[in-house]
Structure 1
Amino acid sequence: MGGYARPMPAAWLARQAQLVHARIAQADIVITTALIPGRPAPTLISEDTVKAMKPGSVIIDLAAGRGAHGGGNCPLSKADEVVNVHGVVIAGYTNLAGMVAADASALYARNVLDFLKLVIDREGQLVIDTNDDIVAACLMCRDGQVLRAA
């Protein structure tokens, strides 16, 4: 089977579940993404694990809707819903990347604009102020000299 994910033996899964349970119980936020091509999403976070989590903790289950019984890597997930189970918020977003694309693009555009304001003066001329920490950190070469080797 190709890909990075493949089904694992039951004994291995049981050992992993114990280790994962202990770590997740201490976490404030957990993001799951495990999918196996052609199969339901594996259960990584059981209801017992959710019960062991601190109140107010968050699970982002990016495999929601692709697991057994409509769950995801956590069987308590619900596709495209945010639910509160045992005091833990479980977000079952099925297309998180599509939800944030416009915001990410706007943020990137704003950052580029702010950077350009640092290197272009009011007359539209390029001005490299090496005393500005941001400009200096971004300057890779100047006057034909490499300042920061890759």
Structure 2
Amino acid sequence: MVYLDVLLLTNFLTAYLLLLAAGALSGQRAPFARMLAGSALAALSALILFAPEQPYPVQVAYKAATALGITAAAFGWRSGRRLVTAACWYAALNIALAGAVLLVILRTGTRVADTANLTVYLRISPLLLLALSGACCAAVELGLRLFTRREVP
């Protein structure tokens, strides 16, 4: 059983953290209100889980369109190149997070998942998902701080 409020809130918070990381990786900062808008759009995009199964090309197009829409809501349309860069980072971080969640599932032996239209609902604790999202965001921040060149004064 999927609880709609938990699904939306968890996806909202997860998207916020992933948008922070995507912004850091693409060199963009978004105002708080725009981050909330992007996160809300991401939460709503998860509702595709309840739609009838679509053909694979439609699923891929939906995922690409939502990634572009979410990052456009957060970072704006100033430059097409910057938008695509942020969307690609956001999608890559989503894939990395899904891999981390699957790793946890394989380690713990959980075998329950609902999938539809390239969307996966894993019956794990929302707190675990948020913790993994935070770890993903923290890893990006740490990596940027460690591997960014600093100019000599």
TM-score for the superposition, normalised by structure 2: 0.26
TM-score for the superposition, normalised by structure 1: 0.26
Q: Which has the higher contact order (CA 8 A, sep 6+)?
A: 2
Give the structure with the higher percent helix.
2
